[in-house]
Structure 1
């Protein structure tokens, strides 16, 4: 088995290019800000986020990572509807808060069944969807998203879109622009994955002003730290970093999809993001996990996602040398 230092972690879907250049210096310069509480209203932070998202600062909510925003929004509703498989915290956080969670199944192609949604969704519900969804790596098509939002509006329900992986996707549409007049939509994004800053814990979201006011009434004060505020001065303005990352991930994603689709014992699902879901037609996740770990590669067992069994794994898109290495491991396992 490879030493821990030599293991390539394909279970973690963080930008392989690392954080934006120059951010370290920005954070060092902001060190003295740690002796004071952050602005409790996060005015500078919300201005930087709103400029990046293309909205008004009073339409921005902040949180200690996207997860805190999911938690706080769930607190505002009595019943939550999700489609599985999905990020487990869509289920876990509401249940911890004592909310009822209704689980619906994605269809065989991991698409949302509008008929099932129509039957299940009730007035006052919160519908949480990943866009793109984790672990299926699928983004909701624009026309489908319109239909989903229309159904939630008809039911007097609320739609929460988790778009933590948004920047990795093709920019064929921007849901913030699509729903700029919608009163029943909240869209979450984060610095965690794309900007490679899981330790900063910076989540942010867009919603119309009335909902933002409701959110502000129940959020914890000072939940976002000063380093996160300082990072926001830098990362959202780094256009070159954003464009380079998108181009790099697109190229490497296509490489992996092409190479892996030619391996007989794999069913590789199309991806629009920086990770890929794979169904194993031979072996199971435990066998492949052990085989890969001996070769210094860590993969994600996908049975931890409700709705998937041990025949599924998930891998991240990494740097080219690492991607070639995992392709060779898959081929050697034939």
Structure 2
């Protein structure tokens, strides 16, 4: 399974309508007031979006509290990741991590330096020091996918210092960052550096439950922003995404409710899963949980859950992780209780 959310492929293997635990989307769904706004904006589809995204950049800059000249936007986070791999000399990734980092790099015929996370899925800074060169691109998930772990603040600052000293670029993929505890914000940390040698990337896909909209955004240095816009396709961001961004970013009630809801359900799931003897539920800062199966493999688990109406994410497509790992999203409480019951059933085998 290369990516989650492939309901169409797996529905044929289940007699029940599948609950999708393979896709890590905000369980509260689309912000309620957004549905009305989208309907109101349908008429604007007869016009091209602003090719320079002036209003969109302003909305993003206000949400992230950075200067408009530092804002970068694209057709989903993956488009921006793709362009950064194009402009890099080599690409450094830690494994396991999001498969598109390596895939995008290889499509552009870039050398990929693959480093392993340690046994606790943490980054070994010494490994970075041993390989990094000028013009390299180091891509890190924060939090990482599939492990769900954020980078410690001090570790992140140390990594950034190494990147700058070596005249490389750090691409920080924070697609799941809004789900995390709020003890630090990388946007604020690196603002004093004018985001030199770094791009901090987020997306509407996960937190705002809009994977079909395709809106990636973030902050980078003025120089890197300009380099990306020299390559990116014109009108990359669609008109609907452009017009509703302000309503996404200013919906404070939805944002706060989402953070609190996911935290409560994360605590519930971890508590229940850790009562079971045949699995290991790893710590997570994100809206998904990596689970190790002690006596079964992912293929058995996939079909076991499918037979009970649940699609999980197998993890063999991630490098440096065994075939006895699966990933589940954090969903609404009813669905989470359903998946807990299936894990309890699996635990008896």
TM-score (norm 1): 0.98
1:208 to 218, 221, 226: 221
1:61 corresponds to: 72
Q: What CA RMSD, in Å, does the superposition of the two structures yield over aligned residues?
A: 1.0
Pairing partner for 1:115 from 126, 133, 141 = 126
User: 1:285-330 deviations in whole A, cap 9, x for unaligned?
Assistant: 1111111111111111011112212110000001111111111111
Question: Within 5 A, what are the aligned runs for 1:229-244?
Answer: 229-244=242-257
Aligned to 1:49: 60
Query: Deviation at 1:3?
Result: 3.5
Q: Distance in 2 between matches of 1:297 and 1:234?
A: 33
Q: Work out whether 1:294 is the aligned partner of 2:307.
A: yes
Q: Give the distance between the partners of 1:171 and 1:211, measured in 2 at CA.
A: 27
Could you tell me how far apart the structure 1 residues matched to 2:44 and 2:89 are?
39
1:285: which partner in 2? 298
Cα distance in structure 2, aligned partners of 1:294 and 1:33: 44
Deviations 1:215-265 (A, max 9, x none): 111111101000101220211110000000000000000000111011111
Q: Please list every run of 5 or more consecutive structure 2 residues that lacks an aligned counterpart in the other structure.
A: 1-12
Query: What CA deviation, in whole Å up to 9, does each residue of 1:138-188 have, x standing for no partner?
Result: 000100001100111111111000000011001110101111114111000
Q: Select which of 50, 58, 79 maps to 2:90.
A: 79
How many residue pairs are counted as aligned between the two chains? Answer: 333
Partners of 2:15 and 2:54 in 1: how far apart? 46
Cα distance in 1 for partners of 2:273, 2:39 equals: 42
Return the alpha-carbon distance in structure 2 between the equivalents of residues 78 and 123 of structure 1: 8
Which of the numbers 32, 38, 41 marks the counterpart of 2:43?
32
Partner of 2:281: 268
Secondary structure of the equivalent of 1:303? coil
The answer to whether structure 1 residue 104 and structure 2 residue 115 are counterparts is yes
Q: Which runs of 5+ in 1 are unaligned?
A: none
Cα distance in structure 2, aligned partners of 1:156 and 1:83:
19
| 1:221 corresponds to | 234
Q: Partners of 1:112 and 1:214 in 2: how far apart? A: 29
Instruction: Please give the residue correspondences for 1:140-151 in structure 2 after superposition, counting only pairs within 5 Å.
Output: 140-151=151-162
Aligned partners of 1:57 and 1:24: how far apart in 2?
Answer: 27
Q: Does 1:124 align with 2:152?
A: no
Give how far 1:115 is off: 1.2
Q: Name the CA distance, whole Å, in 2 between partners of 1:69 and 1:285.
A: 32
2:147 aligned partner = 136
Partner of 1:245 in structure 2? 258
Q: Which residue of 1 aligns with 2:169?
A: 158
1:178-224: per-residue Cα shift (whole Å, max 9, x none)? Answer: 11114111000000000000000000120121221111111111010
Structure 1 distance, partners of 2:291, 2:221, is: 38
Q: What is the TM-score of this pair, normalised by structure 2?
A: 0.94
Query: CA-to-partner distance for each residue in 1:14-42, whole Å, 9 max, x for gaps?
Result: 01110101111111111121111111000
Asked if 1 retains the 8 angstrom alpha-carbon contact of 2:187 and 2:200, the reply is yes
Give the whole-Å Cα distance in 2 for the aligned partners of 1:231 and 1:84: 35
| Structure 1 residues 59-113: Cα deviation after superposition (integer angstroms, max 9, x where no partner) | 1111000000000111111200000000000000011011111100000000001
Distance 2:291 2:132 in 1: 30
SS in structure 1 of the partner of residue 140 of structure 2: strand
Which of 167, 187, 201 is the equivalent residue of 2:178?
Answer: 167
Aligned equivalents of 2:272, 2:114: Cα separation in 1: 35
